Amino acid sequence: PDIGTAALNVLAHNGVETEVVYPGCCGMPQLEQGDIARVAKKAKAIAEAFRPHVDAGKDVIALIPSCALMMKFEWPLIVPDDENVRALAQATFDISEYVMAIANDEGLADGLNPIDGPIALHLACHARAQNMGQKGAEMLRAIPDAKVTVVDRCSGHGGSWGIKKENFGIATKFAKKTIKKLVDAKPSHVCSECPLAGKHLVQGMKTLGGDTPKIEQSTHPIQVLAKAYGF
C-alpha cells in the first residue's frame, strides 16, 4: 500500500481530511478484454457506494491513472444514463491532478526538501488520456532543485496484455526506445504513475541498460513528493 500511504501523508500535511473508500476494482482489466457488461455492473455498484460521499461534497481521488480514467471518462460512456456514475465522474480527480490543484490554488505546505539525484518520469498513457497535462511532472518539479526528465513514450506493457508470458518478448522489444530514453537521463529515481509500466521499464533497464545506475524499483511521483516531505 505504499502509494496510498504516501498520498495520505502528503494530503494530511497539506490540510486535507481523508478517508479510504474502496468499493471495488474500476474494471479496466475487463474493459481490455471487451467484457463491457461486467464493467457496467461494476460502474453502477461502485458509483452507488460513492454517492453519499459525493453528496456530502467530498472529492474522490484515484491513485492510479487507469482508475481515474475509468471513473472520469469511460464509465459515463458505458452507462450514460446512470446519475450516480455522472456525479462520481464530476467529483473524481487523479492524485497528481489534485495535489497540483492545491499547489496552484493555495500553495503547497512548507517542508519540501531536495532529494538525491535526477528523476526520470515515464508519462503513463492513461495519465495522458485524461487531458489534464503532465501533472506528475509538475508535482515533481515542486520539489526544490529537482531535475526532472519526462519520457513520453509507451512502456510496451499494455495492461492485462503485458502480464501474459507469451507477450513478454514483444512487450520488451517495443519498450526499447523508451528504456533508452530513461537510461540516457541517468536518473537516480524512475517514476511512472502506472505501476505496471514502471515495473516493466525498470526490468528493461536492468537487462538492456548497460552502465546505467542501478534502479531497483519504480515509484509513483506521489511517493517521491512524500519522501521530499520527509515521510
Summarize pLDDT for 67-85 with one digit per residue, the tens. 999 999 999 999 999 999 9
Per-residue pLDDT, 211: 62
Q: How confident is the model at residue 10 (pLDDT cuts 50, 70, 90)?
A: very high
Residues 54 and 58: their CA atoms lie apart, in Å, by: 5
> To 10 degrees, what angle do helices 36-55 and 83-91 make?
70
Per-residue pLDDT, 213: 62
CA torsion through residues 22, 192, 5, 99, sign: negative
Strands, E, within 54-201: which ranges? 60-62, 92-94, 119-122, 148-151, 189-192
Q: Which whole number is the average pLDDT over 181-191?
A: 91
pLDDT at 199 over 70: yes
Model-level pTM?
0.93
Per-residue pLDDT, 222: 98
